[in-house]
Amino acid sequence: MIGCGCQVCQSEDPHNKRTRTSVVFGLPGGNLLIDTPPDLRSQLLREQIGVIDSVLFTHEHADHIFGLDDLRLFQFYLGHAVPLYCEQSVEQRIRSSFDYAFSSRVPTHAGATPQLEFHRIGTEPFEVLGTTVIPIRLKHGPRFDVLGFRIGNIAYCTDTNEIPAESMALLEGLDLLILDALRWRSHVTHFSLDEAVEVARQLGPKQTLFTHLSHDLDHEETNRKLPGNMQLAYDGQRIPLQ
């Protein structure tokens, strides 16, 4: 955290060096990105990911959309506008925050304005890059809904403090659950670590990784306290898809 001198912020352990949350699925049909955080450029450079073929959005908060401009090169690599899959509220926020990307001018060179193509989604399954995606409705506080996503036997559920019963049913039989766990203490819009552990126990995935972590959670120290099939995720982590 900026201006913080705590043990985690000053740690030399690279697992404690955290950027804003996102994930890329390397699918047979291409690279599928979930969310475009402000750190997107550095994340893609660090992981040597040269192209993004499509993007899913969980919700419209700044830490999940404000790296969108860094998609501007990919339209030239793809030969078409970058497909964005999101709910109506996300599209509206992107259009207002990045209004210059929706002018009538056509970019003529790499580095010009991004070209984006919206695909409206809800809670029905849909196809992206030849793969079925199942949206999972989540609560991000008492008055705000977001989406998680299930792709095969992997689910990604960030920015949530409540999973409705009908959504829990969609998360059964997972090989991997990636789940929000902000800190030890409770929070009004995010699961605490103890709450997230309990959700993982209820769902029973083979493996759980906790994400969207604050500086309250030291990587090594916290992992020692977790069940063997639950761990903190870390920046740059790669997981083979089965």
CA dist., res. 156 & res. 172, Å (int) = 13
**Residue pLDDT, tens place only, 157-215:** 999 999 999 999 999 999 999 999 999 999 999 999 999 999 999 999 999 999 999 99
Rounded mean pLDDT, 144-149: 98
Distance CA 76, CA 95 (A): 21
CATH of domain 132-233: 3.60.15.10
| Strand 176-180 to 23-27 pairing | unpaired
Q: Which two tokens stand for residue 149?
A: 């996503």
Evaluated on CA atoms 203, 217, 21, 175, the torsion sign reads: negative
Worst-scoring range by mean pLDDT, 71-75, 81-85, 124-128, 232-236? Answer: 71-75
Q: How far apart are CA 211 and CA 56, in angstroms?
A: 17
Tell me if 193 sits within 8 A of 181, measured CB to CB.
yes
So where are the chain's domains?
A: 20-121, 132-233
**Each residue of 40-60: pLDDT tens digit?**
999 999 999 999 999 999 999
Averaged pLDDT, 207-224? 95
Alpha carbon distance 207, 229 (integer Å): 5
pLDDT digits (tens, 9 = 90+) for 67-92: 999 999 999 999 999 999 999 999 99
Euclidean distance between CA atoms 225 and 210, whole angstroms: 13
pTM for the model stands at 0.95
Given a cut of 80, whether residue 242 has pLDDT beyond it is no
pLDDT of residue 89: 98
Both tokens of 40, joined, read: 């997107």
SS3 call for 143: coil
The residue to which tokens 């893609």 are assigned? 44
Query: 20-121 belongs to which CATH class?
Result: alpha beta
How many whole angstroms separate alpha carbon 87 and alpha carbon 120?
6
Q: Which of 185, 188, 176 is nearest to 230 (CA)?
A: 176
- State the DSSP string of 161-206: SB--HHHHHTTTT-SEEEEE--BSS--SSS-BHHHHHHHHHHH--S
Q: What pLDDT shows up at residue 205?
A: 98
Which pLDDT score is estimated for 110?
62
**Are both 20-121 and 132-233 of the same fold?**
yes
